[in-house]
A and B are shown apart, each in its own frame.
Chain A
Amino acid sequence: MKRADLLLIWVLLMAVAALAVAPWIGPKMLSPSLLWSNEDALDATILRGIRLPRVLTAFVAGAALALGGMTFQALFRNPLATPYTLGLAGGASFAAALAIQLGLSTSFLGLSSVSLAAFAGACGVILLVFALTRMRADFSTATLLLAGVALGFFFSSMILAMQYLSDPTRTFHMLRWMMGGLEGTAGYRDLWAVLVPAAPAAAMLAALRNEMNLLTLGEEWAVGRGVALVRTKALLLGLVGWMVASVVAICGPIGFVGLIVPHICRLLVGPDHRRLFPVTLAFGGTFLVICDTAARTVLAPTEIPVGIITSLLGGPFFLWLLIRQSPSGSSL
């Protein structure tokens, strides 16, 4: 397994390189001379006050979404699972759209009402899912998956109805929010708003890597090896839900990172979550940093929503994945 260890180091180096290079790139290219001279105060402010926190936020968000996708793909034993599979993005979007429609302007800890509403909406969906699993003890993960899809459709039709009844400015605002992106993030406050809730959840997920390995082998097999199934599943659901809710609140429902990154990483280092976890974390972060850099640079001074870039890269990859996938579904 020398190759996998080399790849792990390679991915980690790539992450460091992306974090080091991305803040200098943008509509205004910054000169490396900023590192040793103090002559351009504006550029220094752009670098330290705007670019650096944004790049770091993108890294944290990408890592959290990718880890969420990886965990759900293991939990549901389904290669198509994403962190939004249980309708989390739908709930967040609906609540955010509602906040926009009502023109709420309260804020808490410097976070906007839309962010707060999105966070509440996402948490609401997690609680709803928990309630569903409580209602029937024999709720299988397959049923849970279908319930999540149904919830997602329910929320998207509620959003459509709201957009239809709303005025064009608000509709555009809702639409823009749902594309996801980082251009709305403001400095270190948003970085902390994502990092502080997500980091402990990710650390706890890291402690559950053996359980994820056993769950990919099937629930019955995992129980036979000593996994406390009900508790472990609830923990994984709750941790991913919490982590992804905090990302979605700040960055909106950025798509495809949570679907494609775990798959790329599995192709690189194999199915063992002990190695897959750090690689997915680093690769997810790197991927979103690169996509966000492209989003703010390609059509500068106009920004493209990063959700469009991730999907532009993600769509073709997804098709390729479907074509090369063997009939036995051994990609997971």
Chain B
Amino acid sequence: MPDAPVVLRVENLSLTLGGKAILHNVSFHLHGGEYVCLVGANGSGKTTLLRCLIGYCGSYTGRILWWGQCRSTISQRYLARRVAYVPQGEGRSAPFSVVDFVMLARYPHWDLFRSPGPQDRQAVRRALQLTDSEHLAERVVGSLSGGERQRVCLAAALAQEAEVLLLDEPTTFLDYRHQEDLRRLLTRFNRECGVTILAVTHDLNAAVLSGERVLALRDGQLAFQGAPTELMCPDVLKRIYAAELILTPHPTAQLPMVLPSVPGELS
């Protein structure tokens, strides 16, 4: 969607932690209504990049502009009304019931004198419906299975009613069926509601099938950005992962897919 307004613009973002450059000169932008996947090897800086975008990081150099406004000048609460971030692995041992947990995501819409009202309750109900987790409403979050928690965390992000979703590995811990369900849900949200999505994933096949555009990080630098078809060629993948991957066409989507190699078979 090249004509859509630019939601996020990142310019020359660099971040150093403990003398080590985690991100180096990363520049990209996000258009409204895009579904972008962020891939890269372990430790390549994907999570740190998302944290910088939401404002949970040390001091960085470069610029992060949300709707043309510098991130550091936007209040966290205002940002949360428009951008929902689902981190990896946090909030999982929460002692709250699912419905209370999801309700807490309505926080940016409250002020000092406004407590949860009918509008908030409706948003929570809708988010639980969409993520197929209404039956979990009275369960304690800490007692859920990994997949159930993942869905409940996404429900919280949906209840926040933001225009942009930043997701850190939303499909980890999910079985095949729930991975499919979640991707279908995200795609639906993206297409029907115009929600902009930036999702970190390790699943290249899923990224290629659902993302309109892929960003790839390698050692803190943007190693690739472009269409999924351009990503799936041996040279590019070798540059990103420093590994030889087996590619084969998807039977219906006609896109190259990555296959695991047979253990013990030398390449």
Q: Do the beta carbons of A220 and B105 come within 8 Å of each other? A: no
Q: Do the beta carbons of B59 and A223 come within 8 Å of each other? A: no
Chain A interfacial positions (CB closer than 8 Å to B): 137-138, 207, 210, 213-214, 216-221, 223-229, 270-272, 274, 328-330, 332
B84 in the interface (beta carbon within 8 A) = yes
Can you list 23 contacts pairing A with B, beta carbon distance less than 8 Å?
Answer: A137-B59, A217-B91, A217-B101, A219-B90, A220-B87, A220-B90, A223-B54, A224-B54, A224-B85, A224-B157, A225-B104, A225-B160, A226-B79, A226-B81, A226-B108, A227-B77, A228-B75, A228-B76, A272-B96, A272-B100, A274-B115, A330-B142, A332-B95
Q: Do the beta carbons of B86 and A224 come within 8 Å of each other? A: yes
- Could you mark each residue 96-135 of chain B with 1 if its beta carbon is under 8 Å from any beta carbon of chain A, else 0? 1000110011011010100100000000000000000000
Apart from A218-B91, A271-B95, A272-B100, 15 more pairs, CB < 8 Å: A137-B58, A210-B107, A213-B104, A217-B90, A217-B101, A218-B87, A221-B90, A224-B80, A224-B85, A225-B80, A225-B156, A226-B108, A227-B76, A228-B77, A229-B56
The SS class assigned to the B binding surface is mixed
CB-defined contacts of B86 to chain A, threshold 8 Å: 224
Chain B interfacial positions (CB closer than 8 Å to A): 17, 51, 54-56, 58-59, 75-81, 84-87, 90-91, 93-96, 100-101, 104-105, 107-108, 110, 112, 115, 140, 142, 156-157, 160, 166
Q: Do the beta carbons of B93 and A328 come within 8 Å of each other? A: yes
CB-defined contacts of A217 to chain B, threshold 8 Å: 90-91, 94, 96, 101, 104
B90 to nearest A CB, angstroms? Answer: 4
Q: Do the beta carbons of B110 and A210 come within 8 Å of each other? A: yes
The 6 closest A-B pairs by CB, nearest first: A226-B80, A224-B85, A226-B108, A218-B90, A217-B91, A221-B91
What CA separation (Å) do A218 and B110 show in the bound complex? 20
Q: Do the beta carbons of A207 and B112 come within 8 Å of each other? A: yes
What CA separation (Å) do A227 and B93 show in the bound complex? 19
For B95, give its contact among A138, A216, A221 (CB under 8 Å): A216
CB-defined contacts of A229 to chain B, threshold 8 Å: 56, 76
What CA separation (Å) do A259 and B87 show in the bound complex? 30
What CA separation (Å) do A161 and B19 show in the bound complex? 41
CB-defined contacts of B115 to chain A, threshold 8 Å: 274
Counting chain B CB atoms within 10 Å of each CB, the highest count among A217, A229, A272 belongs to A217
Q: Do the beta carbons of B91 and A223 come within 8 Å of each other? A: no
The SS class assigned to the A binding surface is loop
CB-defined contacts of A210 to chain B, threshold 8 Å: 104, 107, 110
CB-defined contacts of B59 to chain A, threshold 8 Å: 137
What CA separation (Å) do A217 and B96 show in the bound complex? 9
For A214, give its contact among B75, B79, B107, B140 (CB under 8 Å): B107
CB-defined contacts of A213 to chain B, threshold 8 Å: 96, 104
A262 to nearest B CB, angstroms? Answer: 13
A94 to nearest B CB, angstroms? Answer: 34
For A224, give its contact among B81, B84, B93, B96 (CB under 8 Å): B84
What CA separation (Å) do A148 and B111 show in the bound complex? 33
What CA separation (Å) do A112 and B44 show in the bound complex? 60
A329 and B93 contact, Cβ closer than 8 Å, known pairs A221-B87, A224-B86: yes
Q: Do the beta carbons of A270 and B95 come within 8 Å of each other? A: yes
What CA separation (Å) do A225 and B160 show in the bound complex? 8
Q: Do the beta carbons of A223 and B104 come within 8 Å of each other? A: no
A143 to nearest B CB, angstroms? Answer: 13
CB-defined contacts of B81 to chain A, threshold 8 Å: 226
List the B residue with the shortest CB-CB distance to A219. B56
What CA separation (Å) do A210 and B25 show in the bound complex? 37
What CA separation (Å) do A272 and B157 show in the bound complex? 20
CB-defined contacts of B95 to chain A, threshold 8 Å: 216, 270-271, 330, 332
What CA separation (Å) do A32 and B99 show in the bound complex? 50
Q: Do the beta carbons of A223 and B96 come within 8 Å of each other? A: no
List the A residue with the shortest CB-CB distance to B79. A226
What CA separation (Å) do A229 and B90 show in the bound complex? 15
What CA separation (Å) do A217 and B142 show in the bound complex? 11
Q: Do the beta carbons of A227 and B91 come within 8 Å of each other? A: no
B243 to nearest A CB, angstroms? Answer: 30
CB-defined contacts of A214 to chain B, threshold 8 Å: 104, 107
B111 to nearest A CB, angstroms? Answer: 10
What CA separation (Å) do A271 and B79 show in the bound complex? 27
What CA separation (Å) do A217 and B107 show in the bound complex? 13
Q: Do the beta carbons of B142 and A328 come within 8 Å of each other? A: yes
What CA separation (Å) do A332 and B95 show in the bound complex? 7
What CA separation (Å) do A218 and B100 show in the bound complex? 15
B70 to nearest A CB, angstroms? Answer: 16
Q: Do the beta carbons of B107 and A271 come within 8 Å of each other? A: no
List the A residue with the shortest CB-CB distance to B168. A220
What CA separation (Å) do A84 and B59 show in the bound complex? 31
A28 to nearest B CB, angstroms? Answer: 46
CB-defined contacts of B85 to chain A, threshold 8 Å: 220, 223-224
CB-defined contacts of A216 to chain B, threshold 8 Å: 94-95
Counting chain A CB atoms within 10 Å of each CB, the highest count among B81, B94, B160 belongs to B94
What CA separation (Å) do A213 and B110 show in the bound complex? 14
